[in-house]
Each structure stands twice: as C-alpha cells, then as structure tokens.
Chains A and B, each alone.
Chain A
Amino acid sequence: MSLPKRIVKETERLVADPAPGITASPHDDNMRYFDVTISGPGGSPFEGGVFKLELFLPEEYPMSPPKVRFLTKIYHPNIDKLGRICLDILKDKWSPALQIRTVLLSIQALLSSPNPDDPLAADVAKHYKEDLKGATQVSKDWTNKYAVETA
C-alpha cells in the first residue's frame, strides 16, 4: 500500500523535529494511524499530565481532516467521555494547508483555554461556567489520577 508523499513528509518531520510536549509515531502496520502524546501545558489544570491520543488520516486526507481522540480520561468541557474533541479545525474549519503538527498544537492550546460556551461535554461545561474553581480542581484531580505515570 503506497502512502502519499505528503503523509511521508509530515511523518518524517514529526519524528525528526517534534513540537515541544508532543510526540506522534505511526503504527508499523498502518502508517496512517498514530500513537500520540500531549503534555498538559504549564499553568493549566492539566500540567504534569501526559495524555495519550490516537490519530488517523482518512483516505481523503488532506482534503478531509485527521480524526483524533483522547485515550486518557480528561475533565475538559470540549472533550467528551469517549475522548472525542470539539475543535473547529477538526470539522468545518479544516483546511488542507493545516497539518498533523498544527492539529496537535491546537489540541494542546485547547487544554490551556477550555471553551465552555461551545461544549461537547455538557455537564463539564456547566460545571466550568458555574464553579470555575471547583471544576478546575476536578480537572487537576483527573490529571493526577489518569494522566500521571506512577513509577
């Protein structure tokens, strides 16, 4: 199965020159399927956590966006219980000029700036709007519980 040159190039760069706090490595048996980790950004309630994600480049990529979801549980208003992510560039704001790298950087940025006005997890968004301090604490607790490797 031949892989489009664009995907080969993007993959090479991701591996050789990774963005800070982000790793992405393709599966040996499916070069369109990546294991991803994103470190929680400093100053966010996800700081100190390493979140696992999976990313898949569909047949139509780059005319269609990559598919991405979290595998690590996370308490965030724009990420649901199954790890699905509400982010415009993964949907109607996708452009073929974007790349895997830009998508992952945008997800990392989403961790720093939750947007409870465009929620995917309605209960988490409600919590964020009504009790920011309490909700942030739950996000921290979940980070410690699910996203911190214990030696």
Chain B
Amino acid sequence: MAKVPRNFRLLEELEKGEKGIGDGSCSYGLEDGDDIMMSNWNGTIIGPGHTVHENRIYSLKIVCGETYPDSPPSVAFKSRVNLPFVDQTNGTVDPTKLPVLANWTRNNSIETILVEIRREMATFNNRKLPQPPEGSFF
C-alpha cells in the first residue's frame, strides 16, 4: 500500500474535520488556518450523556509533530477535567495511560483519539468521578 506522507494525511484529516464527523460529539480543526505545517490543532469533546460529563464542553490541544502519523500527537486538555490519564497540574494526557496513544498505529487519527477519550469518560470507573467546576481551565 502507498504510504500517505504526514502533510497529505493531515490535509485529509482537516477536510474530514471541516465537514463534521459523526454526531458532532467530537470535533477538531487547525488552531491557526495559516499554519502551513498543520502542527497545532484544537479539539472539542461534548461529554457523554448519563455521566458526570453530560453536556460539558471540553477543549483540547493536539500537537502533531514531524513524525506524525508514525508517532502519536501530544494531547492536552485545556478545560479542567478529572480523569486518571490527565495530569491534574497542566491537563497533559499521559500517553502511557491511554490505550489509543500507548498502542498507536498509523490507522489512528485525531478523530480516533477524541472518540476514544470520550469513550473513556463513560467507562464504569470514570463516569462518576468528581469533577472540577464546569468551564474552568488548566
């Protein structure tokens, strides 16, 4: 199979993100539309229903390095959230504690990361964790 280079892969992701994905519970886009290297992205997750996260809007920052998608991006929450894989001092997602990052493959994408994080929010262990006030930031 042809190996899609980083920049063309990110252009595909951008176009998919601009069209809107799934039911709108996760979305993403470039932080700066002038960023020709397409490194810095914003992500948004709407908290899953029937959990403490219901109706909360979480903002994240995703940075795709030069070796993306061979290596995963770095991911951090901007919105305060209490989850076992999120550093409570600065919002950084610990890649060793989130399976989609720990077991990264080229088939994953910014979208799959956001969808997986949202799924984690709804797991039995995480759905009732006490949360910081809504709308607060790291």
Residue positions of A touching B, CB distance < 8 A: 1, 27, 30, 32-33, 54, 56-59, 61, 67, 69, 71, 73, 81-84
Contacts and interface: CB of A to CB of B under 8 A. Distances in A.
Given A56-B8, A61-B2, 11 more contacts: A27-B5, A30-B3, A30-B5, A54-B7, A56-B5, A67-B8, A69-B7, A82-B11, A82-B14, A82-B36, A83-B36
B41 to A, nearest CB: 13
A151 B80 CA distance: 49
A54 B2 contact: no
Contacts of A73: 36
Interface in B23-49: 33-36, 38
Nearest to B12: A67
21 contacts: A1-B3, A27-B5, A33-B3, A33-B5, A54-B5, A54-B7, A56-B2, A56-B8, A57-B2, A58-B2, A58-B4, A59-B1, A67-B8, A71-B36, A81-B34, A81-B36, A82-B11, A82-B33, A82-B35, A82-B36, A83-B36
B7 A59 contact: no
Contact of A84 (B1, B2, B11, B34): B11
The prevalent SS among residues of B at the interface is loop
Contacts of A67: 8, 11
Contacts of A59: 1-2
Contacts, number: 39
A27 B7 CA distance: 14
Contacts of B35: 82
Contact of A56 (B4, B34, B38): B4
The 6 lowest CB-CB distance pairs between A and B, nearest first, are A59-B2, A33-B5, A56-B8, A32-B2, A81-B34, A67-B8
A32 B8 contact: no
Contacts of B5: 27, 30, 33, 54, 56
Contacts of B2: 32, 56-59, 61
A27 B1 CA distance: 16
B99 to A, nearest CB: 28
A36 to B, nearest CB: 13
A82 B38 contact: yes
Nearest to B33: A81
A114 to B, nearest CB: 20
Contacts of B11: 67, 69, 82, 84
Nearest to A80: B33
A84 B11 CA distance: 9
A100 to B, nearest CB: 14
